[in-house]
Amino acid sequence: MNTEKKIPSGFIYFFGSFGGILFGYDIGVMTGALPFLQHDWALQNNATIVGWITSAVMFGAIFGGALAGQLADKLGRRKMILISSIIFAIGSLLSSFAPHDGQYYLIIVRIFLGLAVGAASALVPAYMSEMAPANLRGRLTGINQTMIVSGMLLSYIMDYLLKGLPEQIAWRSMLGLAAVPAVILFFGVLRLPESPRFLVKAGKLDEARTVLSYIRKDASTIDDEVKSIQETAKEEVSAAKKSSWATLFNGKYRYLVIAGVGVAAFQQFQGANAIFYYIPLIVEKATGNSASSALLWPIVQGVLLVVGSLVFLWIAEKFNRRTLLMIGGGVMGLSFILPAIINSLVPNMNPMMIVVFLSIYVAFYSFTWAPLTWVLVGEVFPLAIRGRASGLASSFNWIGSFLVGLLFPVMTASMSQEAVFAIFGVICILGVIFVKTCVPETRGRTLEEIEEQGTKGRKE
């Protein structure tokens, strides 16, 4: 790679976060593909297989996040993003060529695809946080969330446009088209530089200065930043060599690891992906109309997510992270709990009311927990354990996503949708309590300041 040629900072930030498009598309695409796949393979009454096909990507992502986090510390963030894009393209194409009634083939291929999805979820926030200056880190890392929800909206639109095809061609086309953004990512990342923090750790100080010259407006601060990163790296290089999974939970790092991993886990156990995966089926159960005719609703949810992500980019550096998480979690919890309360008081309420409350949930989720989870994961972990800890946080996030995707169809087959969402509502409230008691404030602080603050166990 030619490090002498100037690379525009906008190009770096765009393709640095473009990996979000990949797992955004794959999170969203099954929403529209599932009704056609169910009918094509006669899976309407097999909630377990439906859950596994939907959640197989998340199962693979559990391991992809952890593996990528460790390998990124050895090979670099950029190289691992390139590898992930290749795996994603291959997995997408293999999914589209699944044999008829090949439920187990599709599950296995989607687990393989999940390795790349999980890797992207761990690598992109780490790369963006290490490239961004402290005063813009929340906003620039939040671009990752804009990419994710843009990928979801893109998949919803493609699902809607392809719904008129014969069902066996429709769902295969929806899944196979995920290879397109993977190819775009691969060629974009070929021009990206490596993270300056990784370069400093590798002893490549001149390359780190060159990369910083692309993304810092004031060149006079570059030497000081390299020196600051270098001092931190020197202090922790011996600890990094000796670090293990046990290191994450020793007295020095435990507080920060619990904070980052806990927020990542709560983001999924709060139930957002139950909406994103199954909104056509939710509308079908509420109204009695066929799920394949309800594909406009995912687009509505996708628009809310994109708008919310843009709102976050505007407010990211205006409000504390913890404040936004607690406000968002509170409204999200009420949006899940109120339909159950109203339904118990007014049994004959309009069945679409639950969809309205879900839209309120999505709106608040989109500019609070959705982007801030990845901002915090990128900010809160010390350099000595960042790759491993980010991978662990990503894995816990995907464990939650996997369990929600797997269990939601089973739960709704045995209880009312209102009761299922009320359970998620309680988890949202528990998430607010967790943020209040266990998560440090990170806005406007350098990664080194956050480490110093966090290892002393202070939230404010």
Whether the Cβ atoms of residue 196 and residue 229 lie closer than 8 Å to each other: yes
Taking Cα atoms as reference points, which of 195, 157, 202, 201 lies closest to residue 177? 157
pLDDT per residue as tens digits for the range 387-412: 678 778 877 888 898 999 899 988 98
Q: What is the DSSP secondary-structure string of 301-345?
A: HHHHHHHHHHHHHHHTTTS-HHHHHHHHHHHHHHHHHHHHHHHHH
> What average pLDDT score do residues 417-444 get?
91
> What average pLDDT score do residues 314-334 get?
92
pLDDT at position 98, please?
A: 94
pLDDT at position 172, please?
A: 95
Q: How many CB atoms lie within 10 A of CB 444?
A: 14
Four-point Cα dihedral 352, 355, 359, 364, nearest 10: 120
pLDDT at position 325, please?
A: 96
Please report how the helices 19-40 and 167-176 are oriented relative to each other, as an axis angle in degrees rounded to 10. Answer: 160
What element of type H or E holds 353?
helix 353-367
pLDDT band of 233, cuts 50, 70, 90: confident
Question: HSE (CB half, 13 Å, CA atoms) of 27?
Answer: 32
Percent of the chain with pLDDT strictly greater than 70? 90
Q: What is the rounded distance in angstroms from the CA atom of residue 266 to the CA atom of residue 184?
A: 32
Q: Supply 267's token pair.
A: 């983001």
Q: Supply 294's token pair.
A: 């309800």
Question: Mean pLDDT, the chain, as a whole number?
Answer: 84
Please state the length of the chain: 460
Is the pTM above the cut of 0.75?
Answer: yes
Q: What is the rounded distance in angstroms from the CA atom of residue 432 to the CA atom of residue 245?
A: 27
Spell out the residues 6+ positions from residue 201 whose beta carbon is closer than 8 angstroms to its own: 233, 237, 240, 383
Q: Supply 189's token pair.
A: 């990342």
Q: Supply 220's token pair.
A: 């006079």
Domains of the chain from N-terminus onward: 11-455 (1.20.1250.20)
Q: Supply 407's token pair.
A: 């269990």
